[in-house]
Structure formats: structure tokens, C-alpha cells
Structure 1
């Protein structure tokens, strides 16, 4: 009888311990050591930012974590701190991407346009004269509206994308284009775009 009472007491103590002492997660997500980055496969899908919807479009009303945007100036970083080391010229992008849909790469080029609503995208010219739209991961940072004309380094993912009519029109409105030009967009189109983790102003 004493044995049964002792056993019941131990069982009750264990149950109380399990109820009131929180357990550690079975598979916790540990941060990477400082300076170490995850390496993605060449044919991996582009990591989608949290600020994008299912179609990859920007959610209206998104604001960066830091709303204070320093003016464009040489040496200024936006987003992750990056350096120009290893950056490829825009003319080398087609070779770096090859036939893949996406590639992780660092590029240098001259910004040709910037979103005038809030600095949530910019464009860089490709070798064939097209504009590559650069957006920012998770909309965690924006760039100054006066960045156009500055040489910048961007680090992130180049990727091919089908852009809907609505999204094309949205970008034209952001750029302050006239309504007739916006209304002339009637078909989705294939574009080469870029999702940046960081932007560095070179000059």
C-alpha cells in the first residue's frame, strides 16, 4: 500500500512539473553565426519577401522598419551592409543568369528611375536597353527618391518574372507617368527583375 501511495505521489509530481514548466522547442531555429550566410542552389526559387502577396505584387501601405531614409550619397548603405567587392557590371548579368530562372548575384549599375511615392523600387538598365526593376526584400528598407543617376551596387536575386497588367500600371503610377501611357498597358509581360537584400551608393 505504501508503495502505491508513493508511486501515485511521484506521478502527480511529474504531471504538475510538465504542466507548469515550459518545454523547449523540439527543433529550435538557431541564428547563423555572424558573417555566415545561407547558400541557396542555383536553381532555387527566389525567396519571396513577406511584403509580397501570392502574385509577388507589393502590398499597398507597406512601410519599412526604418522610415528615416538618408539622402543619396557615396558610401551610403540601405538594407544589409554590402561592399562593391565581386560586383558584376550589368552587362554581365545575362551570362551570369544563363538559362536559369533565378540567380544570386551582386551587380553594379546606374539607377535610372526610383519610385516617387516612397522609394520602394528603382530600376537599373540591362545590356539590351531594358529596365530591370529592383525591389527590396520584405519591404524592410526603401531608397531615397533622388537616387536616379547614381551608380549603385545591389546584392540579392535576379529572376525572370511575368508581370501582370495591374502591376505594370501600378509601377507607372508610382513613377508619375500620365494616365494615357498607363491605360495603354493591356498585356502581361516577361521581365527580368531583382530582389535586393542591400543597396550601396557608389557615386
Structure 2
């Protein structure tokens, strides 16, 4: 009887190990295109968490953070800025450290991990109109910009775009 119980435990252990092994083999690693400084996707906060942090920040505050989000749109002239979706119809305007790298023009809708500094800034009318022009907005949309805007901003030092 003792031998049967031991044999059953051995078989059970082997079957359990095999199932775990299959799960690991089936899991496909995520692949990213890398821009700027080398970063990893681990320990990134969600865009919703970043939005909550932005809501408590003043114009003089900065926050070193890594966030996972989705690209809303990209500068169509050079790829020199992008907007990240923060949820609740909010977005963060992202520039790239030292103008050192750019995003692909077709990156809108892509999932990304962005590392850098989050901050709040007041953007001038002139800059807002220039950004609208770069985004390919209509002249009517550009002309409708008549007041400076408080913006959630981000200076990225590294970006991963999910392939």
C-alpha cells in the first residue's frame, strides 16, 4: 500500500510540473521597438495612475516615472512629440530629451512604455497653434485657439513601442 501511495505522489508531481512547463512555453515574450535611453517595461504604472498623480501636481513639481499607455497622436512633421492617453479624455504631451530621438509617424494607437519626468506646464497660444499645425489640424481648429492651456507634460528619455 505504501508503494502505491508513493507512486501516486510521484505521478501527481510529474503531471503538475508538466502543466506548469506548458504554460511557460505557451507564453510569448512581448517585443518592443526601442527609442532613446535603454529602458525596460517592468514596474511601469498605468496611465490612469499617472493621471491621478498629475491632478495633485503644481506647475513647479516634477515626477520621475515610467508609464504604460497608448499613443493618441504623433507630430506629422518630424515625430518630435506625441500625446499619450491618460483616460477620461485626458492626455499628456510628450517631448523627447535633448531632441535626441523621434517617434515613427504611424505610431498613433500603439501601446508604449515611456520613462522620464512628468510635470504640469502652461502652454502659450503660439505654441498651441504650432502643435495643432504639426498635428495636421484644420485652419479653423488652429484659429480657435485663443487662450493658454494648462497641460500635463512629459519629458521622455526612453520609449518602448510594442510591436
Q: CA offset at residue 81 of structure 1?
A: 1.1
* Unaligned 5+ runs, structure 2: 1-30
1:1-203 aligned within 5 A = 74-97=31-54, 99-100=56-57, 101-203=61-163
Q: Which residue of 2 aligns with 1:17?
A: none
* Bigger relative contact order, structure 1 or 2 (CA pairs below 8 A, ≥6 apart): 2
C-alpha RMSD of the superposition:
1.3
Per the normalisation by structure 1, the TM-score is 0.61
How far did 1:79 drift?
0.4
- The normalised TM-score by structure 2 is 0.76
CA contact (8 A) 1:156 1:196 kept: yes
- 2:71–2:111 contact (8 Å) kept in structure 1: yes
1:54-99 deviation line (CA, Å, top 9, x unaligned): xxxxxxxxxxxxxxxxxxxx41100001110110110001344563
1:127 shift after superposition? 2.7
If each structure's helix is expressed as a fraction of its own residues, which one has the higher value?
2
Change in CA separation of 1:169 and 1:97 when aligned onto 2, cut-off 3 Å: closer
Contact kept, 8 Å, 1:106 with 1:154, in 2: the verdict is yes
**Number of residue pairs matched?**
130
Question: In structure 2, what is the Cα distance between the partners aligned to 1:150 and 1:127?
Answer: 15
Give the gaps of 5 or more residues in structure 1.
Answer: 1-73
Query: Following the alignment from structure 2 to structure 1, what is the Cα–Cα distance between the partners of residues 56 and 70?
Result: 25
Q: What is the CA deviation profile of residues 105-125 of structure 1, one whole-angstrom value per residue up to 9, with x for unaligned ones? A: 000111010000010001111
